[in-house]
Amino acid sequence: MPEQSEGVAMARKVEAFVRDVVIAYEGDERHDGHGPLDTMVQEMRSKARAAGVLTPHIRADGSHMSHRDTAIVLRASGLSPLGPLACNTNAPDEGNMFLLGKVATPEQKAQFLEPMIAGDGRSCFLMTEPAVDGGTGSDPSMMQTQAKKQGDMWVINGRKAFATGFAGAKFAILMAKTVRDDGKDAATMFLVPLPHPALVQERLIGTIDSSMPGGHAVVKVDDLRLGADAILGAPHEGFVYAQVRLAPARLTHCMRWLGAATRANEIATDYAVRRQAFGKPLIDHEGVGFMLADNLIDLQQCALMIDWCADALDAGSKAITESSMAKVAISETLFRVADRCVQVMGGTGVSHDTIVEQVFREIRAFRIYDGPTQVHKWSLAKKIKREALARI
């Protein structure tokens, strides 16, 4: 028999842990409406640490598993909305760990990355800005937050929005507009320990999703002063580093939500087999059975597309196009899967009796987070046009 990959072996451990330990926490009331409280997260992480499944996609030497193996592991962690938090594979931390591993200095890794790999704290990524300020959303070139050089210091002012996990985070990766020596606009990433008096949470945004500790904040950046040692990587290379983070982070979202949709389908299937209506089990009615058949097909297609994009990343490609295509296809497809699960279960499907309605809400948000479907399609259409014109 062929030797199983490290990803398969770890995924089995993660799946057993999520099913045996984490799912029991789904009814836990330690939740503030935006996400689980950190006390509960740390309790789950202590159990994950004991089970050998904390930060399971990163090896003991700090290196990452292949993207293909990571896909198997993160899918297993996603079988519960709490699984990624318990196993430390959640967004935005997973993407931030990947970026720091690629770009940070040894000193920055010791201060920021190593505690996060150990599960000792959360992070946030501050790029999106409030629409009322005319700031950046899906278009990073609209960034209004500015970092200006004053002597040996950088002085940063602006506002950020949808700062996921800001409340309670140990540090932030803050992206700000800077100006190169030649006068051209650029962006720079800064590492900011939290809490910091110059970063003030103005409010928490009420959103459709409810799985993120700390919620989604609007943050005012008021005269933040940082030295050169706070710069992540090199000055003015923020857009380049965003691309380093972007494609893998898009794909890991897909991995986790494939796990969540798989679990929702399991629950809906169990319901359809047990629930009787009009003299027979629901699943024997074609209107229900066919929806579950469609789910099975869609889940398999999503798994294959994740593997396709993961293979491109493992081959050394930046996989910008592949990850954009995968993000669109998988977010849209999994939303249909979750919607069918709700429909199969009827009133129970819209209740809090199972996690199905939560998965439905969370995946609806996923169609916007990390780039709305329409923005990705617009980008792909520009690529199609560019390549077609090049052939003329």
Could you tell me the residue ranges of all domains in the chain?
6-90, 124-233, 239-391
* Cβ atoms of 265 and 336 closer than 8 Å: no
Residue 1 confidence (pLDDT): 37
Give just the sign of the alpha carbon dihedral 166, 167, 169, 171: positive
What is the arithmetic mean of pLDDT over 74-96?
97
Mean pLDDT, the chain, whole residue set: 96
Q: With 50 as the cut, is the pLDDT of residue 2 above it?
A: no
Q: Note whether 124-233 and 239-391 share their fold.
A: no
Phi, psi of 57 (to 5 degrees): -90, -5
Q: What angle do CA 162, 183, 383 make, to 5 degrees?
A: 60
Residue 191 has a pLDDT of 98
What does the alpha-carbon distance between residue 122 and residue 294 come to, in Å, rounded to a whole number?
Answer: 37
pLDDT per position as a tens digit, 282-331: 999 999 999 999 999 999 999 999 999 999 999 999 999 999 999 999 99
In whole angstroms, give the CA distance from residue 259 to residue 71.
Answer: 10
With a cut of 90, say whether residue 388 has pLDDT above it: yes
Percent of the chain with pLDDT over 70: 99
> Looking at the predicted structure, is the pLDDT value of residue 137 above 90?
no
Beta strands in 247-353 (DSSP E): 276-277, 280-281
Residue 66: CB atoms within 10 A of its CB come to: 16
Does the domain formed by 124-233 have CATH 1.10.1270.20? no
pLDDT digit string (tens) for 335-357?
999 999 999 999 999 999 999 99
CA–CA gap between residue 129 and residue 161 (Å, rounded) = 5
Identify the band that residue 122 occupies on the pLDDT scale cut at 50, 70 and 90. Answer: very high
Residue 300 has a pLDDT of: 98
CA-closest candidate to residue 203, choices 167, 179, 230: 167
Peptide bond before residue 213 is cis, with ω within 30 degrees of 0: no
Q: Which CATH architecture has domain 239-391?
A: Up-down Bundle (1.20)
Residue 97 pLDDT more than 70? yes
Burial 234-268 (b: 16+ CB within 10 A, else e): ebbbbbebbebbbbbbbbbbbbbbbbbbbbbbebb
Report pLDDT for 180: 94
Distance CA 127, CA 162 (A): 9
pLDDT above 70: residue 361: yes
The answer to whether the bond into 195 is cis (omega within 30° of 0) is: yes
Query: Residue 139: left (phi > 0), alpha (psi -120 to 50), or beta?
Result: beta
Say what the pLDDT of residue 3 is: 56
What does the pLDDT read at residue 305? Answer: 98
Tell me the pLDDT tens digit for each residue of 20-56: 999 999 999 999 999 999 999 999 999 999 999 999 9
pLDDT value at 170 more than 80: yes
d(CA 182, CA 387): 31
pLDDT of 5: 85
> How far is the C-alpha of 359 from the C-alpha of 373, rounded, in Å?
19
